[in-house]
Amino acid sequence: MSRSVGIASRGPDPVLFWLGLALVAIGLIAIASASIEYGDWHFGNPWHHTTRHGIYLAIAASMAAVTYRIPIDVWQRISPLCLLVALGLLMLVLIPGIGRNVNGSQRWLPLGPITLQPSEIAKFALVLYTAGFLVRHADTVRSSWQGIAKPVFVLCLVALLFLLEPDFGATVIATGTVFGMLFLAGARLSYVLGLVGLALGGLVVMVWAAPYRLQRLTAYTDPWSDPYGSGFQLIQSLIAYGRGEYLGVGLGNSIQKLFYLPEAHTDFVFSIWAEETGLIGALLVIALYALLVARIMAIGLKAQRAHELFAAYVCFGVALIFAGQAFVNMGVSSGLLPTKGLTLPFISYGGSSLIISCMMLAVILRIEHALRAGGDGREVRL
Q: In sequence order, what DSSP letters do the residues of 222-271 get, joined into one string? A: -GGGSTTTTTHHHHHHHHHHHHHTTT-S-TT--STTTTTSTTTTTTTHHH
Q: What is the mean pLDDT of residues 22-42?
A: 92
Position 223 scores a pLDDT of 83
DSSP-derived letter for residue 35 is T
Q: What is the mean pLDDT of residues 336-363?
A: 91
pLDDT category of residue 373 using cuts at 50, 70 and 90? confident
> Which sequence spans correspond to the domains of the chain?
14-375
List the single range of 51-60, 124-133, 172-181, 372-381 with lowest mean pLDDT: 372-381
With 70 as the cut, is the pLDDT of residue 2 above it? no
* Bigger pLDDT: 205 vs 128: 128
Q: What is the pLDDT of residues 137-176, one digit of tens each?
A: 888 888 888 788 889 999 999 999 998 888 888 999 999 9
Determine contact, residues 53/31, Cβ cutoff 8 Å.
yes
With 70 as the cut, is the pLDDT of residue 18 above it? yes
pLDDT category of residue 290 using cuts at 50, 70 and 90? very high
Pairwise CA distance, residues 87 & 177, whole Å: 17
* Bigger pLDDT: 103 vs 354: 354
pLDDT category of residue 262 using cuts at 50, 70 and 90? confident
Position 5 scores a pLDDT of 38
pLDDT category of residue 177 using cuts at 50, 70 and 90? very high
Q: What is the mean pLDDT of residues 269-283?
A: 96
Instruction: Give percent above pLDDT 90 in the chain.
Output: 60
Pairwise CA distance, residues 257 & 243, whole Å: 12
**DSSP-H helix ranges across the chain:** 14-34, 36-43, 48-68, 72-92, 118-136, 138-143, 146-164, 168-184, 189-209, 211-221, 232-244, 269-305, 309-333, 351-375
DSSP-derived letter for residue 100 is E
With 80 as the cut, is the pLDDT of residue 116 above it? yes
Q: What is the mean pLDDT of residues 114-133?
A: 94
pLDDT category of residue 214 using cuts at 50, 70 and 90? low
With 80 as the cut, is the pLDDT of residue 367 above it? yes
Determine contact, residues 240/230, Cβ cutoff 8 Å.
no
Pairwise CA distance, residues 39 & 258, whole Å: 11
pLDDT category of residue 216 using cuts at 50, 70 and 90? low
Q: What is the pLDDT of residues 241-252, one digit of tens each?
A: 999 999 999 999
Mean pLDDT of the chain: 88
